[in-house]
Amino acid sequence: MNPVAAFPHVFFLGIGGIGMSALARWFRANGHSVSGYDKTPTPLTQALAAEGIVVHYQDAVENIPQEVRENKAQTLVVLTPAIPKDHQEWAWLREQGYDIRKRSQVLGLLTQGRPTIAVAGTHGKTTTSSMVAHLLHHAGVPCAAFLGGISVNLGSNLLLPPASSADTAPVVVEADEYDRSFLTLFPDVAIITSTDADHLDIYGNKEALVDSFRQFVGQIKPGGTLIINHTADASVAQAAPAGVRVIRYGLSPEQGPELYADAISAQGHQFRFDLHGPQGTVSGLELAVPGYHNVENMLAAACVGQLYGLTPEQLHAAVAAYRGVKRRFEFILTAGATHPDKVYVDDYAHHPREIEAFLRSLRTLYPGRRVRVIFQPHLFSRTHDFAAGFAESLSLADEVVLMDIYPARELPMPGVTSELILSQITAPLKSLQSWEEILRNAETDTNFDVLATVGAGDIDKLVPRLKNILDIRWNGAEA
């Protein structure tokens, strides 16, 4: 029996989160009555409302729908860690004894008894899981997917299989290491993209983080497969249970992975490469989403495709058709004939290694061009832990503009501001600017060829305003 079938009503605290909204959509599509709270309206919450999901934005018990308040035993409450501890609705639901579960626990319930492909790693999860889902879906393999971003191909963060295979189709999930959430999953196939230090506010040190990855790998089902980046901590692969196949991947055969790419070249916005691995060689793959890191992500995704029987011809077509995830190396604006060398790109990168990979790829695509990056640090704790790393990676740009730290779930930490990063940046030009200053300067300053906005906070709200200003300046268009 479906473990969530006993709950005709599902109420979400933090329904506008990217992972939470995918779950909300799944419950809605499967006949449940879905409602929820979020702090502010966003395009995502507005899309949920348009799909028939009731969303409110004021924290008050009377705003909880009547059907939820009157049907405690038949209601499942799904909670995101971003909800503050003094939240009134959460407190009332706890006091009343509702069944309250974290998003990760619900994801564990939904994948229970289903073939599961779980993508873990401190960065690269969303892109790689979207690639896996796209390759299978494009090739006609029925599958479901819960993604941590909006797939451009799907136009959603949720993929549903045909009704005829709803209980048997593999489920692609993003396995989040934050708060050890991924330990609710028992995958048949697991990908680990990286085990770099992150979330030290939760783990305390890198060894504790790596230990959680070892536990996750220990939960791969007998006869399953682990596809792991060759840069991951060696002890993680060693934690794979007996009988689990381990495939290491990377960009260079010199580093010893069984799955690797070569003949990599950038052609326009495309990256072309050959795949070599234990499932065979596929030559001349063309990836329209640029970046060496995306070639590496596609290696792991294509390996899953091969495990599920995709032919070289199917892989060629599916890889060429992949269009990425919103805010992952997303081309926002390309100038017209009057400014042919100017381009604006947006990316979600919020870890030093992600930023380094992104900027190195920009440099490969646009050699010799002047690069300006606008970066919004995410979390006081992450800024404190990785200030030197952020400064080093951002210094690959010609000019760095820093915004104030986006706090998300955190309270300020004494002495931790964007100045901590700014003081260590070695780029020729660097500054700390407010939203208003960034927009004002965009109207007058043209001293760059490539503009990049980078970060995981609310910097995405800046993107359409910058696009509008630049489109008028570059193309004479009223966007």
How much is the pLDDT for 479? 43
* Residue whose structure tokens are 């906005």: 453
Res 374 pLDDT > 60? yes
Nearest Cα neighbor of 234 from 259, 255, 251, 253 is 255
Cβ atoms of 198 and 120 closer than 8 Å: no
Nearest Cα neighbor of 109 from 27, 179, 214 is 27
How much is the pLDDT for 178? 73
**What are the chain's domains?**
9-102 (3.40.50.720), 113-321 (3.40.1190.10), 330-475 (3.90.190.20)
Reported as a pLDDT band with limits 50, 70 and 90, residue 84 is: confident
Give the strands of the sheet with 259-267, arranged side by side: 156-159, 144-151, 171-175, 116-120, 189-192, 225-229, 245-250, 259-267, 270-277, 280-287
Mean pLDDT lowest for which of 197-206, 271-280, 329-338, 388-397?
A: 197-206
Q: What residue numbers does the annotated binding site for ATP cover?
A: 121-127
* Residue whose structure tokens are 């697991």: 190
> pTM of the prediction?
0.87
Give the Cα separation of 347 and 152 in Å (integer). Answer: 14
- DSSP conformational letter for 182: G
Res 230 pLDDT > 50? yes
Q: What residue numbers does the annotated binding site cover?
A: 121-127
